[in-house]
Chain A
Amino acid sequence: MTRQVKKLFIANRGEIAVRIIRAARELGLTTVQAHSLADADSLAVRLADEAVNIGPPSAAKSYLNVDAVVAAAVASGADAVHPGYGFLAENARFADAVEAAGLVFVGPTAQQIRMMGDKVSALEAAIRAGVPTVPGSKGRVETPEAASAVVDRIGFPVMIKASAGGGGRGIRVATSREEFDRLMPQASAEALAAFGDGGLYIEKFIASSRHVEVQVLGDGHDVVHFFERECSLQRRRQKVWEEAPAAMLPADVRAKLCQSAVDLAKAVNYRGAGTIEYLYDDTTRDFYFLEMNTRIQVEHPVTEMITGFDLVREMIRVAMGQKLRMKQSDITIKGHAIECRINAEDPSKNFMPAPGLIDTLNIPGGAGVRFDSLLYQGYTVPPFYDSLLGKLIVWDEDRASAITRMARALGELEIGGVKTTRGLHRALAADPDVKAAKFDTQFLEHWLEKNSENLGE
C-alpha cells in the first residue's frame, strides 16, 4: 500500500537532521524541523521549511520525549516522521505512537525494532536465519549452573553481557573461573540497576577482531545489500574512522557475509535501512553476528560513495510504501571511501568535550570530498548533546588514494574557536599501520596511549 507523504517531520538534530532535510527536499517534500530551546539557531532549523520547539535543552525533555515529539508532529500537519539515529530512532514505543497518530514512521515496524533491540531475541533471529554467531549461551542464562555449563563448553576468556545493554555498556570479560564467579553477580546487579533488567548472556571473547557491518535496505518484502563497511578504529566502543569496503575482506568471505545479512533481513520481512554488525576474525576468516541496528547509521555516507545510491532518500521511499527501485545486480562497489568523525573534543586532553563559538570555518572541497555537518560560521555549539560536529568523507579510486585525499582534505578543514579531533585524524592518515589496514578493534586505544599527547592543535 502506497501512502502519500508531502510533509516530513524530523525528530532529530545535528548533522543527520541536515542530511534528512536535503534528501527530503530532493524528493519534493516539505520539511518540519523539531528542535529544543538550545537548538533554535541550528543549521537544520535554518535549512528546514518550518521549525517547531519541542522542549527545553535537556534531551530527556525534548528529543527523547515521545509524547512531546508526537504531539508536535501531529500539530505541524506532517504525514511522516524521520527519527534519524540515536534519540528515539530505535524506540519501538515511539514508532508505535507515530503510526497510531496516523503518520508514517520512516523506519522498520515497531515489532522489528523490538525484536532486534533485545540482544537475545536478535541473536535467536540470527540463528534461525543461519547467520553465524559467537559461541556462547545463545540466550539468557537463568541460573549459575547454566552459566557454568556454558563456560565449560566454550572455554575462557568469556564475555558477560547484559541482555538489555547496548553501546558497549554492561560488558565484562572473565579470563578464569575465579574471575567469572566474582563478576557474574556484579554484572547482574549492574544490569538491573542500569537497564531495569538483570538478564545476562555469555559469549566467547575473541581477542583480536575487526568490526565489519553490512548495509541493507528492505521494502517489507525484498531486501538488497549495499556491501560492507569496516569500523574497527574505535575509542571506548565509539567509531572514529570508517571505511567502505572492508579492505582486508577476501571476495568469497564478502559474498557470504553480505548474503547472511540479506538472509536475516529477509527472514523478518525487514522494511527500511538497516545495518547488520559483525565481528570478523581475519586469522580464521570467520565472521560472527553482533547486532542489527534498525536505522540509518552515522557512517552511511561511505556506502553511498562507493555504490552511488542515496540511502536516506531510498529509506523515505520504502517508508512511503514504494517497492525497492534497484535489484541486487544494480549495486556494485566502485573505488574506496573513508569517513572521519570530527568531534568537538580535545584529543590531547583525554578527549575533553569542547563546545563553544565557531569563529572561523573553512570546509574542504574538490573532487571526491563531502562534508556532512551541523556547522556554520558564528554558530555556538551547545554543550547539551553529543560532540559530533561533522563527518569528512572522501572517495577515490582505491584505498591508498583515498587516504592521500583524506589527508589533503583534513589539511584544508579549518574549524576555529573550539578544539576538534582533526589532529587525531591527520595523525591516523599518516600512520603506517592505518595505511596498511593493519588494525583491529583494540588498535586505536593502544595507539592513543602512545600518541595522544601529540594530537592537540
Chain B
Amino acid sequence: MATKDLLSPLPGTFYRKPSPDAAPYKNEGDAVKKGEVIGLIEVMKSFHEVHADSDGTITAFHADNEDAVMAGQPLATISL
C-alpha cells in the first residue's frame, strides 16, 4: 500500500487541536480528504492551517500536540 508523509510547511509549534479544550482535528486511523485541516502551525504568534495533500487514511502522527517542528519535518503518514 502506498503511503505519503505530510510535511510541515513551516517551522513552529504544531497543534493537533483547534483549541486547548477541543478534540483533535484527526486521530490515527481517520480518513482524510485532500485539503482537509489536520492541524495548526503557530509561527511567530500567527496560526497557519496544515492541510492534507491527498485523500487517504492517517496511519501515524509523527509530532505530538504542542511539539516544536521544523519546516519539512514529517507530521503524519497518509496511506493512499
Q: Please report A residues at the B interface, Cβ cutoff 8 Å.
A: 38, 56-58, 344-345, 353, 355-356, 383-387
Contact = CB atoms under 8 A, between A and B. Distances in A.
Nearest to B19: A193
A383 B66 contact: no
Interface stretch (B9-17, B26-34, B72-80): B9-17
Contacts of B45: 385-387
Contacts, number: 35
Contacts of B66: 58
18 contacts: A38-B68, A57-B68, A58-B68, A345-B44, A353-B10, A353-B43, A353-B44, A353-B46, A355-B11, A355-B12, A383-B10, A383-B11, A383-B13, A383-B43, A384-B12, A384-B68, A385-B44, A385-B45
A59 to B, nearest CB: 9
Interface of B is mostly: strand
Scoring A58, A353, A387 by chain B CB atoms within 10 A of each residue's CB, the highest score goes to: A353
Contacts of B43: 353, 355, 383
Q: When A and B form their complex, which 5 residue pairs have the shortest distance between CB atoms, in order from nearest?
A: A353-B44, A383-B12, A387-B44, A383-B11, A383-B43
A217 to B, nearest CB: 29
A38 B42 CA distance: 15
Interface string B54-80: 000000000000101000000000000
A355 B13 contact: no
B11 A58 contact: no
Which residue, of A58, A383, A387, has the highest number of chain B Cβ atoms within 10 A?
A383
B68 A355 contact: no
Contacts of B11: 355-356, 383
A65 B2 CA distance: 44
Given A38-B68, A384-B68, A57 B44 contact: no
Contact of B44 (A38, A56, A58, A383): A383
Contacts of A56: 68
Contacts of A384: 12-13, 42, 44, 68
Contacts of B46: 353
B63 to A, nearest CB: 14
Contacts of B68: 38, 56-58, 384
A57 B68 CA distance: 8
A387 B10 CA distance: 14
A353 B9 CA distance: 12
Contacts of B13: 57-58, 383-384
Nearest to A353: B44
